[in-house]
Amino acid sequence: MNTPSTPHMPLRGIFNILATPFDAAQQVDYASLRRLVNFQLALGAHGLTILGVLGEAAKLSLDERRAVMDTVMETVAGRAPVVVGASHADRESRRSLCRAAFAAGAAAVMIAPPRMDQPTDAAVIALYADIAAATDRPIVVQDFPPVNNVIMSPDMLAQLAEQVPHCRTLKLEDPPLMEKIAAIRARTDAFAIFGGLGGMFLLEELARGAAGTMTGFAFTEILVAVYDAFTQGRLPDAEAIFDRYLPLIRYENQPVVNLTIRKALLCRRGAIAHSTPRHPFTPLDAGTQDELTWVLRRVGIDDPKLRLAF
């Protein structure tokens, strides 16, 4: 069952970062996008996050981003909260994307600071304050240094929470994750902290007090089962589920080709028609395709199209 939420309620649980499907001509495949939304919600995702790094937002035009957002929001139709990625290097484009997201019914916008020359804590906090002033709605702070080379220290994040009350959710992907969760918690309890990195540390993140995770892992029902077991106090069950499927989680999230692998798995699951990301991307060789089949067999997934039962 999906976790109910409104734009003013804290976000919790497993948020699938939705891939953006493309057709053979490299155009957005809106039929597959609608199918993918329904697929992820049927797997039990507590919410969706769209137009992030996995969603290839940087490869989309502003018009495409708005069309993807509108298609997702129409398809979700209020069944689950949606976080809309609105990061952009241009200030006015960023503010416009945020306003459009909230007009469409987004629960929050997710923003990573753009690349800056010698970024200061004050400059980063000012950026989020500017977004808050323009929208007066919830903001998910994306802490992912590989995207922008911006380091958000625990001290800076505590200052951000104090100075910009709209920033109450943090998507944390700056290892070592569990140590940073603890360091932030020592300074402020204002954030609902979501992990990422493919779900590779979900169990440990939850044990450190994370509210959930936002990831594009193709088997959402596995992460939901871990989360449900953990939050219900069934730690041995959570451990057993997580440990059983960890080889698949690990293999899917390997650097450089993680997006391509996730789309290949979504295609195998029947969720999208074509597995190809938009150019530029790193294709999978035949050996990787064979290894995917091998890993699925090792964890006991005989038919990827079937929803796993727990």
Which residues are annotated as catalytic? 171
- Structure-block tokens of residue 293: 């089949």
Residue 225: closest CA among 216, 236, 238: 238
With DSSP H G I counted as helix, E B as strand and the rest as coil, what are the percentages for the chain, rounded to 5?
45, 10, 40
For residues 233 and 220, what is the distance between their CA atoms, to the nearest angstrom? 20
- Structure-block tokens of residue 18: 């939705």
For residues 69 and 82, what is the distance between their CA atoms, to the nearest angstrom? 10
Query: Is 128 in contact with 119 (CB distance < 8 Å)?
Result: no
For residues 300 and 298, what is the distance between their CA atoms, to the nearest angstrom? 5
For residues 276 and 56, what is the distance between their CA atoms, to the nearest angstrom? 12
Query: Is 202 in contact with 213 (CB distance < 8 Å)?
Result: yes
H-helix segments, the chain: 30-42, 62-76, 91-103, 121-135, 145-148, 154-163, 177-187, 202-207, 220-231, 235-252, 258-268, 286-298
Kindly provide the b/e burial profile for residues 212-239, where b requires at least 16 CB atoms within 10 angstroms of the residue's own CB: bbbbbbbbbbbbbbbbbbbeeeeeebbe
42: Cβ contacts below 8 Å, ≥ 6 apart? 307
Residue 160: closest CA among 131, 182, 135: 131
